Amino acid sequence: MSIATGGQSRIEFDISEADTIANVAQEFIAPSDGFIKDVDVIVNKAVTTGGTVRVNNYRTGSSVQVAGLVTTIANGATKGTAGTRVSATKGAPSRYVKKGDRLSLTLTGFATAGALNGAINIEGHDAGGQSLGANGSGSVTA
């Protein structure tokens, strides 16, 4: 599910226990042009063996990890435990997305039990002042 309000959009996700413990990548389509801002992850069912969640951008045709977007869920995390909120590296080209671009979450290290949910947040401009042009384009420099 995606939600767009006031120049921002978010891709909400709910990862089942089967997909979490099998470390199955989750695939999404960017709902709007913009810059990936951050990711929020919360434990929906207690996690026995923790792991990491990474956001990837396929804008260039191959998987590129969005700079700075890796969050960790600790071993033994209980329901309601939030992962460390992480923000993408300001000015990183990997943050830029166009509507329809493929994005994914890669899970690593989870085992035994647990389920996650959360959201990838996208903004219409980057926090460093970079904004999209009238046609949705924007040059991005690292």
pLDDT in tens, 19-66: 999 999 999 999 999 999 999 999 999 999 999 999 999 988 888 999
* Tokens linked to 65: 């990890």
Predicted local distance difference test score (pLDDT) of residue 124: 84
pLDDT in tens, 89-125: 888 999 999 999 999 999 999 998 999 999 999 998 6
Residue type, 38: D
Confidence label for 7 from pLDDT (cuts 50, 70 and 90):
confident
| Measured distance CA(111)–CA(15) in Å, rounded | 14
| Measured distance CA(24)–CA(21) in Å, rounded | 8
Q: Where are the domains of the chain?
A: 2-123
Q: Any idea which architecture 2-123 has in CATH?
A: Sandwich (2.60)
Q: For the residues 9-21, what does the mean pLDDT come to? A: 95
